Amino acid sequence: MLGGKEVLLAEPRGFCAGVDRAIEIVERALTKFGAPIYVRHEIVHNTFVVNDLKAKGAIFIEELDDVPEGATLIFSAHGVSKAVQQEAVRRGFSIFDATCPLVTKVHVEVAKLAKEGYEFLMIGHKGHPEVEGTMGQLSEGIHLVEDEADVAMVAPRQTEKLAVVTQTTLSVDDAAGIKAAIRARFPSVREPKQQDICYATQNRQDAVKILAPQVDLVIVVGSPTSSNSNRLRELAARLGTPAYMVDNAGELKEEWFTDTARVGLTAGASAPEVLVNEVIARIKQLGAVAVRKMDGIEETIKFPLPKGLKIDEATGLEIEVRKAPETGH
Ligand code: 0K2
Ligand code: SF4
């Protein structure tokens, strides 16, 4: 049991701007069009968020075959391939794209450089929906490298025009190692001006780097499918601090807190603050008496909603996109 011990809260933690926007898109679509609203893939990788939206009338599917004719369909924050996008348009669904604008930015870069004749090495995790979406921007010429061993084996058709792109939610340090291996093998490789790993991933990892050495245990709130949440747990463990990831407070084990003076707490970009608060309440039951927030970067970034779901902040009224009136008759 904890005895008069402290919880140290990482700053920043939890929802990023892309997750906020994606969830809001589903909620507004439900309000505006009514249930059911179809969502391709979990809108974000969080069990609580997905169950909450299911209860409000969202239906999560993986295959477009499972979406009925005329339905409203939302793409998840992780993005989709060109093939999925085109098929959804062909089937005539009413589509809202909740792909994070920072993922879309990577898609746009891939399409632009491909037109200039570039081939790509994509650093990411096989089977992750963002990797499938980004690689699926092209029908060929984009090769997945998961680690240094893959870099040694990869066989692009040419090396004069080769560019690197990455998944947005990787370990910053692992990606740096893989990029170094790429540079060593392909010295003229083109890298993005600003790295593809996003600000939220970077900031949450930076916060864990400050947090982990100050505590005896790190708890990460996040779902097992969440790449960025897994990376936070892994990072704390690499820094030598025992670390566990939990989907909710019910998963905390009492024995983790034996002889634990300070508990560090953070949350992945898809994990809501309500779950963090439940974890804090449970740790208090186990003996914590104080909760202290770390100093950290304040994130103010916010992404606009898609047309058709926008609301005027000042009036609270929906912004309608109207066609110009027809004249001359
Ligand atoms: O970290 P992941 O990419 O697995 O995704 P989530 O846990 O859903 O977090 C939101 C990030 C979505 C896209 O970058
Ligand atoms: Fe966008 Fe980064 Fe959040 Fe992913 S983790 S949704 S890329 S801001």
Of 122, 150, 185, the residue at which a domain comes to its end is 185
In a domain, 144, yes or no: yes
- At 87-107, the pLDDT tens digits run 999 999 999 999 999 999 999
- At 22-32, the pLDDT tens digits run 999 999 999 99
In a domain, 310, yes or no: no
| CATH number, position 25 | 3.40.50.11270
Q: What's the 194 CA to ligand 2 centre distance in angstroms?
A: 15
How far, rounded to the nearest angstrom, does the alpha carbon of residue 53 sit from its chain's CA centroid?
Answer: 17
In a domain, 319, yes or no: no
- At 252-299, the pLDDT tens digits run 999 999 989 999 999 999 999 999 999 999 999 999 999 999 999 999
Q: How many domains does the chain divide into?
A: 3
In a domain, 245, yes or no: yes
- At 180-205, the pLDDT tens digits run 999 999 999 999 888 999 999 999 99
Ligand 1: nearest atom to the Cα of 228: 1
Distance between CA atoms of residues 221 and 265, nearest Å: 8
- Give the tokens for residue 34: 């009514």
Ligand 1: which of 100, 166, 227 to mutate, judged by most atoms within 8 Å of the beta carbon? 227
Instruction: Please report which ligand is nearest the Cα atom of 105.
Output: 2
Active site residue 6: no
Shared domain for 226 and 257, answered yes or no, is yes
Range of the domain at 235: 6-15+199-293
- Give the tokens for residue 130: 């963002």
- At 221-263, the pLDDT tens digits run 999 999 999 999 999 999 999 999 999 999 999 999 998 999 9
Ligand 1: nearest atom to the Cα of 269: 9
- Looking at per-residue pLDDT, the higher value among 309 and 4 belongs to 309
| CATH number, position 127 | 3.40.1010.20
Does ligand 2 lie within 6 Å of residue 19's CB atom?
A: yes
- At 123-179, the pLDDT tens digits run 999 999 999 999 999 999 999 999 999 999 999 999 999 999 999 999 999 999 999
Instruction: Please report which ligand is nearest the Cα atom of 78.
Output: 1
Shared domain for 274 and 214, answered yes or no, is yes
Of 77, 100, 123, the residue at which a domain comes to its end is 100
Shared domain for 212 and 150, answered yes or no, is no
Using CA positions, which residue lies closest to atom 2 of ligand 2? 198
In a domain, 318, yes or no: no
Average pLDDT score over residue span 116-128: 98
Shared domain for 177 and 205, answered yes or no, is no
Binned at pLDDT 50, 70 and 90, residue 327 comes out as: very low
In a domain, 307, yes or no: no
- Crossing angle of helices 47-56 and 17-33, in 10° steps, is 10
Nearest to 113 by CA among 86, 137, 146: 137
Q: What's the 16 CA to ligand 1 centre distance in angstroms?
A: 10
Nearest to 221 by CA among 167, 279, 171: 279
Enumerate the H helices of 186-260 as residue ranges: 199-211, 227-238
Average pLDDT score over residue span 43-47: 98
In a domain, 1, yes or no: no
Does ligand 2 lie within 6 Å of residue 18's CB atom?
A: yes
Mean of pLDDT over the chain: 95
Shared domain for 214 and 275, answered yes or no, is yes
In a domain, 76, yes or no: yes
Shared domain for 116 and 49, answered yes or no, is no
Shared domain for 227 and 289, answered yes or no, is yes
Shared domain for 79 and 148, answered yes or no, is no
For the whole model, what pTM was predicted?
Answer: 0.94
Ligand 2: which of 42, 198, 204 to mutate, judged by most atoms within 8 Å of the beta carbon? 198
Shared domain for 118 and 181, answered yes or no, is yes
Ligand 2: nearest atom to the Cα of 301: 8
